[in-house]
Each structure stands twice: as structure tokens, then as C-alpha cells.
């Protein structure tokens, strides 16, 4: 679980950076395409092209299409309708999708994982329930698509790696993940992109570089590797730890108003949900 915690800290800055410096200024399709290309370049020299099972290639490719391609295109568009805190609020449903998709793949129902995810959702909701801006329905729907595909990608990658075991290190096949995302991001930019809204400052380019190389390239690899070492309930809950982490960054750096009491109560409930899952989930394992 250490990998998931590390990436949570890494990603805590992403929401604020996108909302404060990119949203409404830089074309969302171009921003996503840039992140995909930079992340792909990180893994391109590491990718094994021969001797990799076709099913493994296809599985990782599809998870990249979902978890990175579709997810980030919808996420970036949502910032046109929502504030950073609202985006964080509407991501709280991801844990429910994680547990439901995992159960569907196994053709089972895990009540403890679902209850733990629901408790985590309650905690995140307490933190960020507030007045909603106009257009929130559109933003909400975009984020639910993003939440679902992000959850499907995480669970899908874990199941793909379990179904096609290989002696190759995981980083030798993760390049296919970003190639899959490119299949979605490139056509989207060519069709919907606005070339008049490209980055205009070195700060914007620097943020895109950091998001592409660190948050996407390193972050998504480590997150998916961490997902392979925990049960679905724990993975679902760790998705919601991003909410208090992202809010803390938004509060401390950009001095946004936040109810600290609600933040503390909600964070405590999320921590309780993690304990509940570890204590009662029959398949829970918190291995690193």
C-alpha cells in the first residue's frame, strides 16, 4: 500500500495545478495529449516488443485507453464547469465503481468492500459538500464518466496482470498503457482541439511537463503496481484519500477557504473505512 500512499501525495497537487493554471487557458485536448506523449516517451525505451503475450499487450492497451485516455479528457473538460473543490467532491464515487467492477469481473458480491467504500464516500462527502455552481450537472456527468473509466482501468490492469503472468518486469510492458491512451487522445485533439489555446507561458509548459513526466508517467505506473498488491476494498478507499490531500494542497498553497472541522471529521471517517476493510473484508490484504 506504500506505493498508493506515495502516489496520492504526488497527485495531490494535480487538481490545483490544472484548475489554477491550465483550465480555461490551455486547450484541454492539447493538455491531455501532451501528458500522454510525455509519459509514453518515458516508457518507450523500456518497452519490450517481442515475446509479450498478445492478451497482455491488449489488456494493458485497453486499460490505458480507459484509465488515462477517456478519464483525463473528461476530467479536464469538467474544470470548465466546476471549481477545484467541486471536482474533488464529484470524484468521491470512484470507490463504489472500483468495488462494483471488481465484483462483476469475479461474479461475486463483497458487502464489506462495498460498505467500506461507501463509508469512505461519506467521509469525502462531509469534507466537500457545499454550494454548487451553475453547470454542475454537466460537470458531474463528465466526472462520473471519468470516475468509471478510471476505476475500470485500475481494476482491469490488476486483472490483466493476474491473468497473464510473466517473468518480465512490469515496466517492460507498461508502455502499452500509454500507447492505448494515445489512441484516444490524439484523435480527440485533431477533432476537437483548439490550436489557438496552446500554452503561452513557461509556467504552463512547465506544469504540463511535470504532469506528463511525474504525475502521469511515474504516478500512473506506481499506482497501478500498487493496485496489484491490495484488495479491491483498499484500492477503492485509497482513491478517496485524494480528496483530503487535494484540499489540503488547495488550502495551504492557494489559500482557498475550507472548513477545517469538516476536513478533520471527513478524513477520520476515511481512515475508519480503511480499518473496517482491513478488519472485516475476507480477502483484505494490506501487503506492500
pLDDT over threshold 90, residue 241? no
To the question of pTM greater than 0.95 for the whole model, the response is no
* Band of pLDDT at residue 30, cut at 50, 70 and 90: very high
Residue 48: inside a domain? yes
Look at residue 72 in the predicted model and tell me its pLDDT. 95
Residue 42, domain extent? 2-280
Beta carbons of 170 and 46 less than 8 angstroms apart? no
pLDDT digits (tens, 9 = 90+) for 133-184: 667 788 888 998 999 999 999 999 999 999 998 889 999 999 999 999 999 9
43 domain-assigned = yes
Give the total residue count for the chain: 288
User: 97: pLDDT confidence band, cut at 50, 70 and 90?
Assistant: confident
Is the pLDDT assigned to residue 280 strictly greater than 80?
A: no
Residue pair 66/151 in contact by the 8 Å Cβ criterion: no
- Between residues 149 and 239, which one has the greater pLDDT? 149
The residue ranking higher by pLDDT, 125 or 80, is: 80
255: left (phi over 0), alpha (psi -120 to 50) or beta: left
Query: What pLDDT, on a 0 to 100 scale, did the predictor assign at position 256?
Result: 58
Surface-to-core class of residue 52, CB atoms within 10 Å of its CB (0-12 exposed, 13-18 middle, 19+ buried): middle
285 domain-assigned: no
Residue 30 within a domain: yes
**Is 286 contained in some domain?**
no
The structural domain count of the chain equals 1
CA 208 to each of CA 24, 108, 153, 229, 270: distance values in angstroms, whole numbers, following the listed order:
14, 41, 22, 30, 31
Q: Is residue 288 part of a domain?
A: no
pLDDT at 214 over 90: yes
pLDDT in the model for residue 149: 97
Which range is least confidently modeled, 126-130, 156-160, 179-183, 259-263? 126-130
State the virtual CA torsion across 88, 140, 97, 151 in degrees, nearest 10: -70
Asked whether residue 253 carries a pLDDT value surpassing 80, the answer given is: no
**pLDDT at residue 118 is higher than 90:** no
What is the band of 288 on the pLDDT scale with cuts at 50, 70, 90? very low
Rounded mean pLDDT of the chain? 86
What pLDDT shows up at residue 255? Answer: 57
Proportion of the chain above pLDDT 70, given as a percent: 90
38 domain-assigned: yes
Q: Which residue has the higher pLDDT, 232 or 57?
A: 57
On whether residue 201 sits in a domain, the answer given is: yes
Q: What is the pLDDT of residue 129?
A: 66
Kindly indicate the confidence band of residue 287, based on its pLDDT and cuts at 50, 70 and 90. Answer: very low
What pLDDT is stored for residue 66 in this prediction? Answer: 97
More confident residue, 3 or 39: 39
Separation between Cα atoms, residue 280 and residue 130, nearest integer Å: 32
Amino acid at each position: 500500500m506504500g506505493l498508493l500512499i506515495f502516489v496520492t501525495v504526488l497527485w495531490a497537487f494535480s487538481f490545483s495545478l490544472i484548475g489554477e493554471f491550465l483550465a480555461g487557458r490551455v486547450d484541454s485536448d492539447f493538455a491531455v495529449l501532451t501528458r500522454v506523449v510525455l509519459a509514453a516517451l518515458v516508457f518507450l525505451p523500456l518497452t519490450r516488443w517481442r515475446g509479450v503475450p498478445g492478451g497482455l499487450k491488449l489488456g494493458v492497451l485497453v486499460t490505458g485507453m480507459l484509465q488515462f485516455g477517456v478519464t483525463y479528457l473528461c476530467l479536464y473538460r469538467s474544470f470548465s464547469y466546476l471549481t477545484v473543490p467541486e471536482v474533488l467532491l464529484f470524484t468521491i464515487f470512484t470507490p463504489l465503481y472500483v468495488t462494483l467492477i471488481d465484483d462483476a469481473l469475479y461474479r461475486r458480491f463483497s458487502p464489506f468492500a462495498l460498505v467500506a467504500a461507501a463509508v469512505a464516500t461519506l467521509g469525502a462527502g462531509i469534507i466537500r459538500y457545499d454550494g454548487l455552481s451553475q453547470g454542475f450537472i454537466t460537470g458531474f456527468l463528465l466526472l462520473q464518466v471519468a470516475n468509471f473509466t478510471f476505476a475500470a482501468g485500475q481494476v482491469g490492469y490488476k486483472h490483466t496482470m493476474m491473468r497473464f503472468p510473466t517473468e518480465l518486469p512490469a515496466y517492460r510492458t507498461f508502455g502499452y498503457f500509454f500507447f492505448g491512451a494515445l489512441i484516444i487522445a490524439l484523435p480527440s485533439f485533431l477533432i476537437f482541439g483548439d490550436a489557438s489555446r496552446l500554452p503561452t507561458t513557461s509556467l504552463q509548459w512547465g506544469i504540463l511537463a511535470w504532469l506528463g513526466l511525474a504525475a502521469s508517467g511515474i504516478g500512473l505506473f506506481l499506482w497501478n503496481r500498487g493496485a496489484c498488491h491490495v484488495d479491491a476494498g483498499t484500492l477503492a478507499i485509497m482513491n478517496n484519500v485524494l480528496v483530503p490531500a487535494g484540499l489540503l494542497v488547495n488550502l495551504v498553497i492557494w489559500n482557498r477557504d475550507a472548513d477545517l472541522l469538516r476536513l478533520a471529521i471527513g478524513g477520520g471517517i476515511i481512515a475508519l473505512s480503511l480499518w473496517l476493510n482491513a478488519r472485516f473484508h475476507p480477502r483484505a490484504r494490506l501487503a506492500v
